[in-house]
Amino acid sequence: MIEGQPFFRFDWLVDNLDQLARRLGEHLLVTFIAVTVGFLISFALALLIRRYPPIYGPILAVSGILYAIPSIALFVLFIPITGLSLLTAEIALVSYTLVILVRNIVTGLRAVPSDVIEAARGMGYTDTQRLWRVELPIALPIIVAGVRIATVTTIGLVTIATLIGMGGLGYLIVNIGVTRRFPTATITGVVVVVLLSTIVDLLLLAVQRRLTPWAKAREA
Amino acid sequence: MTTPTTSGAVVALEHVAKRYGPPGSPPAVTDLSLTIPAGEVCVLVGPSGCGKTTTMKMINRLIEPTSGRITIDGVDVMRQPAVELRRRIGYVIQQTGLFPHLTVAENVAVVPRLLRWQDTRVRERVDELLELVGLDPAGYRSRYPAALSGGERQRVGVARALAADPPVMLMDEPFGAVDPILRDRLQNEFLRLQAKVRKTVVFVTHDVDEAIKMADRIAILQRGGILAQYDTPDQILANPASEFVDRFVGADRGLKRLSLARVRDLPLLQPVLVRPGEERAEVRRRLEGPEALGFALLVDEEKRPIGWIGHAQLAGDGPISPDAATPDATLLQPESTLRDALSELLLSSVQLGVVVGEGERVLGAISVDQISDTLRAAAGHGHGAA
């Protein structure tokens, strides 16, 4: 901290609103790509597991190991191969979402009551119709719960991705705040990250409530 | 009903066998042949492990037979795509299997939607079915299953199975998960419904009493899916084909049989009817006739019973007073089962039941002897006379 300066400089914040908006945009984009790609991969894996249950254990083990690697290490690990690029960042971020998303999608599908599945078969649903019209809708609350955790986790991790040049809100926290000893930027970055996580989490919850009005009837 | 009802189809099993393990392992169903006439309720009953559920599920191919042939109206079920076959067979299960994420109306509409019916037709059909099972469409259409009671869920399950008007219905212990009072009500409702829709119903239960009540024909299976007896409830109770059937239907099969017969099935006795004020000597004289029951029945001007009068109350001379009769005459309706009638008669001082019709007017009487004669007549045929 530079002597003689106030701890938080509002004038800096006001002057840098455009940068804040840009960093927020970068942050959201990197998060969105990671969660979307992570979800698509996890969904495909979950469908494979639904068909071939024995592969669940190995898939969980591999994604669990990925999850256990410290994020900085994972970012750095890929630099020699993919350079300081968005791809490097996304590889790491997507890896982290897998264990959460695969587990939640599989758990959601497995939580569909067996009598419901039997009734669906007995009434003449094809396997595909049963998956899309019965099992996935019923699994939705658990699946969305996974997406919420994955998204909040990713928003946090993206701040670290600034180390490999991804910008985002991490740029304010680390590159400006820490490197230049300017706490105003760090505080701004942290507060916005927390707000962002909370808002996105609540939005996803609202989406889930909207999509599953029946789940409320069940709780009542 | 606005939609014309398709009545039942003949379901036939020919030498059907199912083995879950490799060849040589004990079969779940062994060489089972039976024909279910169109529009009848066939109850598959037996102890657990007798293959009754397996047998039922082979009809809609949830389980495929190892050998043998199953036909519906002569068409082999294996010769059509399983999903198409299943859309033409109603399916009701114990836990209902209602889809929690769909409303009552959407649940009932499942098979019509799979069959791509038009929206208006589906909507009309849903309302019609909800009314048929006794649920007000306006009040229930948009509720979710979680907001229904057990009985309501079970009714929606039946409506859903009937939605596309299938000729055949499979019901797997449909009333097994509800309390006895509700079960009785749902059973009666279903019997009334079935009298209207006349589907061919294959009904699985482990409860003999339920089987006797619901069935036109009962197939009793024993371990390994061996058919022990296939007959009407009355014949099974009167003439159990084997030791196994005898034990399975229970030692009280005579009593069970009585719940199949009703008071109106017996020839009614005509007791001597007496009104207050009649002379005792005259009544004594009338009681000496060969048809007399040993008691006279005191009735009021509307021919409503007051009570029985025995010889003790008829001694001496003078008119009969209204309070001379025993006050506890047992009143029976023509619809009462003989089992209920017997149980009431055994508790009353005079073992004669007054059968009353509309306005409590006397139609006649039945005696305990008549009921026990019915039992003996039943036991008289063939096996199981002991």
How far A133 CA sits from the closest chain B CA (Å)?
Answer: 10
A111 touches chain B (CB under 8 A): no
Instruction: Determine the pLDDT at residue A4.
Output: 63
Asked whether the beta carbons of B91 and B159 are under 8 A apart, the reply is no
Helices (H) and strands (E) in chain A, counts: 11, 0
B94 contacts in A (CB within 8 Å)? Answer: 115
Q: Between A and B, how many residue pairs show a Cβ–Cβ distance under 8 A?
A: 77
The string over B219-253, giving b where at least 16 C-beta atoms fall within 10 Å of a residue's C-beta and e elsewhere, is bbbbbebbbbbbbebebbbbbbbeebbbebbeeeb
B93 contacts in A (CB within 8 Å)? Answer: 115, 118-119, 122
How far A100 CA sits from the closest chain B CA (Å)?
Answer: 24
- Where exactly are the structural domains of chain A? 10-219
How far A220 CA sits from the closest chain B CA (Å)?
Answer: 8
- Where exactly are the structural domains of chain B? 11-88+166-260, 264-373
CA angle B244, B246, B249 (to 5 degrees): 105
ipTM: 0.84
Cα–Cα distance for residue pair A217/B289, rounded to 1 Å? 72
In CATH terms, the fold of domain A10-219 is: MetI-like fold (1.10.3720)
Question: Please, which residues have CB within 8 angstroms of residue B259's CB and are 6 or more apart in sequence?
Answer: B212, B213, B337, B338, B339, B340
Smallest CA–CA distance from B97 into chain A, residue: A116
Reference A110, options A143, A144, A84; nearest CA is: A143
Question: Please, which residues have CB within 8 angstroms of residue B9's CB and are 6 or more apart in sequence?
Answer: B38, B72, B73, B167, B168, B200
Q: Per-residue pLDDT for chain B (386 aa), expressed as one digit of tens each? A: 445 567 889 999 999 999 988 887 888 999 999 999 999 999 999 988 899 999 999 999 999 999 999 999 999 999 999 999 999 999 999 889 999 999 999 999 999 999 999 999 999 999 999 999 989 999 999 999 999 999 999 999 999 999 999 999 999 999 988 888 888 888 888 988 998 899 999 999 998 889 998 999 999 999 988 999 999 998 998 889 999 999 888 877 777 888 888 888 889 998 888 888 888 888 888 888 766 788 889 998 889 998 888 888 888 888 888 787 877 788 888 888 888 888 888 888 888 899 998 888 999 999 988 888 887 776 554 443 33
**Measured between CB atoms, which of B84, B144, B170 is closest to A124?**
B84
> Which of B91, B99, B143, B170 is the best residue to mutate to test the A interface, defined by the most A CB atoms within 10 Å of its own CB?
B99
B95 contacts in A (CB within 8 Å)? Answer: 113, 115
Question: Please, which residues have CB within 8 angstroms of residue B33's CB and are 6 or more apart in sequence?
Answer: B13, B14, B15, B16, B68, B227
Asked whether the beta carbons of B339 and B259 are under 8 A apart, the reply is yes
In CATH terms, the fold of domain B264-373 is: CBS-domain (3.10.580)
Task: For domain B11-88+166-260, give the CATH superfamily.
Answer: P-loop containing nucleotide triphosphate hydrolases (3.40.50.300)
DSSP B206-254: S-HHHHHHH-SEEEEEETTTEEEEEE-HHHHHHS-SSHHHHHHH-TTHH
B85 and A212 within 8 Å at the Cβ level: the answer is: no
Q: Per-residue pLDDT for chain A (220 aa), expressed as one digit of tens each? A: 556 677 788 888 888 888 888 889 988 999 999 999 999 999 999 999 999 999 999 999 999 998 888 888 888 888 888 888 888 889 889 999 999 999 999 999 999 999 999 999 999 999 999 999 999 999 999 999 999 999 999 999 888 888 887 788 888 888 887 888 888 888 888 898 999 999 999 999 999 999 998 887 555 4
CA angle A110, A208, A113 (to 5 degrees): 25
Cα–Cα distance for residue pair A182/A2, rounded to 1 Å? 8
A126 contacts in B (CB within 8 Å)? Answer: 83
What's phi and psi for B108, nearest 5 deg?
-65, -30
A138 contacts in B (CB within 8 Å)? Answer: 99-101
DSSP B167: S
pTM exceeds 0.90, yes or no: no
> Which of B56, B86, B101 is the best residue to mutate to test the A interface, defined by the most A CB atoms within 10 Å of its own CB?
B101
Q: Using CB atoms within 10 A of its CB, is residue B130 exposed (0-12), middle (13-18) or buried (19+)? A: buried
Under an 8 Å CB criterion, which residues of B touch A?
60, 62, 82-87, 89, 91, 93-103, 110-111, 114, 143-144, 146-147, 160, 170
The string over B78-93, giving b where at least 16 C-beta atoms fall within 10 Å of a residue's C-beta and e elsewhere, is eeeebbebbbbbbbbb
A124 contacts in B (CB within 8 Å)? Answer: 82-87, 111, 114
Q: How many CB atoms lie within 10 A of CB B264?
A: 15
A68 touches chain B (CB under 8 A): no
A125 touches chain B (CB under 8 A): yes
> Which of A115, A125, A214 is the best residue to mutate to test the B interface, defined by the most B CB atoms within 10 Å of its own CB?
A214
